[in-house]
């Protein structure tokens, strides 16, 4: 079943309070209809105590399980304030699971300091969310450092890239691909 709905789920204790602006921005950027169905607990088993970080795959599995148990169509984006990683990397800003149509982004390393910190953090979160949702719509990483699909391994990369897709990625993006 194809749907243009984007379910945005907060991982506790983040809550859904600040996600309305993200939902509006994602609707404008991608044309998906946002839904805020609530929150999920962070899976305790995803915590790597030695690293004091969470395995992103555990959060993705929780999102896939949520989706499956409700028979939801559309994409699912989880947002957490926990620091996440995948084996082989010290941290990641987010990860997508194309097979299950779910993605997760973390705010843990998006913090900013100074006068415009709130706005900058929101811009960073939007960029990372669009990037991961781009993966769910069939895109791989891009070599154009200004494209939203450029791989960010530092906050500087995130800040330097634009808010949208380059012409090549926009041409390859499959907005009709909104579910597994």
Residues 141-174 have pLDDT tens digits of: 999 999 999 999 999 999 999 899 999 999 998 8
Contact 84, 108 (CB under 8 A): yes
Strands (E) in 93-138, as ranges, are: 94-97, 102-106
**Dihedral angle over CA of 71, 72, 77, 81, nearest 10:** -60
Which residues are designated catalytic? 132
Q: What are the domain boundaries of the chain?
A: 5-120
**Phi-psi region for residue 74, left (φ > 0), alpha (ψ -120 to 50) or beta?**
left
CATH superfamily, domain 5-120, is Collagenase (Catalytic Domain) (3.40.390.10)
Helices 19-30 & 117-136 angle (0-180, nearest 10): 50
Residues 64-103 have pLDDT tens digits of: 999 999 988 889 999 999 999 999 999 999 999 999 999 9
Q: What is the pTM of this model?
A: 0.93
């Amino acid at each position: 079943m194809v749907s243009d709905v984007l379910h945005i789920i907060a991982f506790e204790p983040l809550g859904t309070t600040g996600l309305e602006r993200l939902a509006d921005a994602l609707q404008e950027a991608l044309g998906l209809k946002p839904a805020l169905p609530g929150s999920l607990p962070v899976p305790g088993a995803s915590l790597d105590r030695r690293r004091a970080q969470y395995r992103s795959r555990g959060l993705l599995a929780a999102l896939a399980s949520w989706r499956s148990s409700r028979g939801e169509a559309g994409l699912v984006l989880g947002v957490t304030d926990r620091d996440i990683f995948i084996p082989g990397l010290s941290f990641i800003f987010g990860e997508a699971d194309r097979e299950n149509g779910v993605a997760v982004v973390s705010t843990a390393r998006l913090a900013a300091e100074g006068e415009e910190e709130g706005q900058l953090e929101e811009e960073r979160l939007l960029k990372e969310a669009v990037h991961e949702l781009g993966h769910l719509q069939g895109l791989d990483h891009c070599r154009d450092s200004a494209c939203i699909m450029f791989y960010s391994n530092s906050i500087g990369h995130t800040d330097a890239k634009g808010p949208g897709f380059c012409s090549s990625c926009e041409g390859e993006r499959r907005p009709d691909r909104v579910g597994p």
